[in-house]
Amino acid sequence: MLRPEKAHLLTPTGEQTEDERLLQRHERPAFLDSDPWRALRILSEFVEGFDALAGLGPAVTVFGSARVGPGDPTYETARTIGRLLAQAGFAVITGGGPGAMEAANRGCQEGGGLSVGCNIELPHEQALNAYVDLGVEFRYFFARKTMFVKYADAFVILPGGFGTLDELFEALTLIQTGKIRHFPVVMVGRDYWSGLIDWMRGVQLKAGAITDRDVDLLRLTDDPDEVVRIIQTYARDVPAAGSPTEEAEIRG
């Protein structure tokens, strides 16, 4: 029997109303853990991301290690790059976490730009850093990656780990296969990245797995000012254009 305070939700026949059924507490239904339900959650992440970032304007995505702090050379370089990009009129997009991501967001704020963080839900509960102006939360890496690519005019790759490499090769693959337009991928830190590029040339290129043109997609520098010059030159010479494939229409 329903409690008296719920009586107003009964139909004339004494049955529960639709509002009552909706508002009643239940055990977690099994369908909430089903793949069709996950598909709806994934769709909602795309919708939320597109809605939040649609008016962003020129932007650069910055990647790098989450395991560095203030005073570390990588942190300070990321902070400088974030500030210079903001002063040049670019928003800065990061993964929204600590380390180099925090530094780039921090520098962007200091330079008067819009600081964006696309955070990912992780087992250790990574939170948005304190320097994010516009934050979007994601459960799924692939939805988050789409935002990094779709709204970026360039990628800046600072020293980092597996996640940084993942984003680097995601961008290179999309450019190589024509899924997105050819935008700058600037690697910062000659000592850190030269070995990887040498391996590409000495092993992959010799094996015929890649071409010289593929390696030339990468720009390597230690100079934050050069990072911004490369991106500004591209932005001036190659205005944003429609993409040639269906996937590219989603990504930008």
Instruction: Going residue by residue through the chain, which has 252 residues, state the pLDDT in tens, using 9 for 90 and above.
Output: 444 444 444 455 566 655 565 566 666 666 566 777 788 888 999 999 999 999 999 999 999 999 999 999 999 999 999 999 999 999 999 999 999 999 999 999 999 999 999 998 877 656 899 999 999 999 889 899 999 999 999 999 999 999 999 999 999 999 999 988 889 999 999 999 999 999 999 999 999 999 999 999 999 999 999 999 999 998 887 754 333 334 444 444
pLDDT tens profile 90-136: 999 999 999 999 999 999 999 999 999 999 887 765 689 999 999 99
Structure tokens at 25: 């507490």
CA 244 distance to own-chain centroid: 22
H-helix or E-strand spanning residue 174: helix 162-176
Q: How far apart are CA 15 and CA 73, in angstroms?
A: 68
Q: How far apart are CA 176 and CA 56, in angstroms?
A: 26
Domain 32-251 = CATH 3.40.1500.10:
no
- CA-based nearest residue to 170, from 185, 160, 158: 185
Residues 6+ apart with CB under 8 A from 208: none
What is the pTM assigned to this prediction?
0.81
